[in-house]
Homo-oligomer: A and B are copies of this chain.
Amino acid sequence: MKYKRLKEYFEENDKFAKKNDIKLLEVEEGYAKTAVRINDGYLNTAGVVHGGAIFTLADVAFAAASNSHGSLALAINVSISFLRAARSGTLYATAREIDRNKKLASYRVDVTDEKDRIIAIFQGMVYIKTGTMR
């Protein structure tokens, strides 16, 4: 129930995700999955999906997973490796919590395509504020 609320909260309030049609498919404690359907608007000058689009897809999953406990979590650091170019179809990002203490938490995110090939890997850390998210 509370994850359903969190999903709706993201759908409503993550304006940059909304602007770029990134969907939050699932969110549970320490876990989230996003998707985006690629069209020409997501490409870069090389004709492949833009690093910024791939990062944003992963970042929304990371944000949902890291805020899934109810406290406000702010991204402080992310490393992303781009492993394979994507051109079309739907891309997915799956975020999983690796560790969490009172002030810091870490996540790994995999970005995959429809054939489950790895497009990018992402490792991110958040700082947890004492207030609640909503």
Enumerate chain A interface residues (CB-CB to B < 8 A): 9-10, 13-20, 40-46, 50-53, 55-57, 59-60, 63, 67, 72, 74-85, 98-99, 101, 103-104, 106, 108, 118, 121, 123, 125, 127, 133
B51 touches A9 (CB 8 A): no
Interface of A is mostly: mixed
A121 touches B108 (CB 8 A): yes
Cross-chain contact of A16 among B52, B78, B106 (Cβ < 8 A): B52
Instruction: Return chain B residues, CB-CB under 8 Å to A103.
Output: 103, 127
Give A68 to B28 CA distance when docked, in angstroms. Answer: 37
Instruction: Return chain B residues, CB-CB under 8 Å to A41.
Output: 15-16, 18-19
Cross-chain contact of A44 among B15, B50, B84, B101 (Cβ < 8 A): B15
Instruction: Return chain B residues, CB-CB under 8 Å to A51.
Output: 55-56, 59, 63, 75, 78
